[in-house]
Structure 1
């Protein structure tokens, strides 16, 4: 039971991390100290998408699910939890590249704005 609860909590953390990667730059506009946390997280998120790296959180979650007597899943977090909600088809390398570009674009725009605000202060 504890392994299942921990795995479920890890799913929530994983989703929160993905949202932070995507939109954490907006939080940096309000809370400047997050500038030390968000760029590394965003770079990691882009690297996972661009280079098709395995995410350690997915491996950890699968390990916890196996310890709980449940089946793990193949692929990554996005393919297993997010992708089926958005699209019924499988995740292709081209789409992953597009997702990485979306992360890059959002963060470049936010940090350019932050840089402009900083220059005017």
Structure 2
């Protein structure tokens, strides 16, 4: 029972991490210092897709599932098990990856644009 809860918790953390990879750049609009953490998360996410890095969260979830006596994730991993075919059709994986990359790019361009804008009371009066 305990290990099953651990596996479920890790799956939730994994899903939140993927959400942060896609949308964390928008969080940096409000909290600009988080852009460095977001950059690292995006680099890791890109590496898992393009280079094939193994995700430690997948290993941790599989470990907890096996201890709970439940089958581990398939070799394709977390995204294929929980998201592909559930949130989007299986044949749309490339399109979803492109949309996720576009969301990251738009958030970073927006962050750059916001950083260039004059700040403070003088900017509000002049604008």
Query: What TM-score does the superposition give when structure 2 sets the normalisation length?
Result: 0.80
Match of 1:107 in 2: 104
Q: What is the CA distance between 1:86 and its match in structure 2? A: 3.0
Quick one: distance in 2 between partners of 1:64 and 1:14? 14
Match of 1:10 in 2: 10
Cα 1:119/1:90, change in 2 over 3 Å: closer
Q: CA RMSD in A?
A: 2.0
Q: Is the 8 A contact 1:27 1:34 kept in 2?
A: yes
Quick one: distance in 2 between partners of 1:15 and 1:56? 13
Q: How many residues end up aligned between the 2 structures?
A: 117
Deviation sequence 1:3-49 (CA, Å, 0-9, x none): 11111000000000000000011111111221121111011111212
Q: Is the 8 A contact 1:65 1:72 kept in 2?
A: yes
Q: Is the 8 A contact 2:29 2:114 kept in 1?
A: no
**Unpaired stretches in structure 2, ≥5 consecutive residues:** 119-127
1:68 lines up with 2:68 in the alignment: yes
- Greater C-alpha Rg: 2
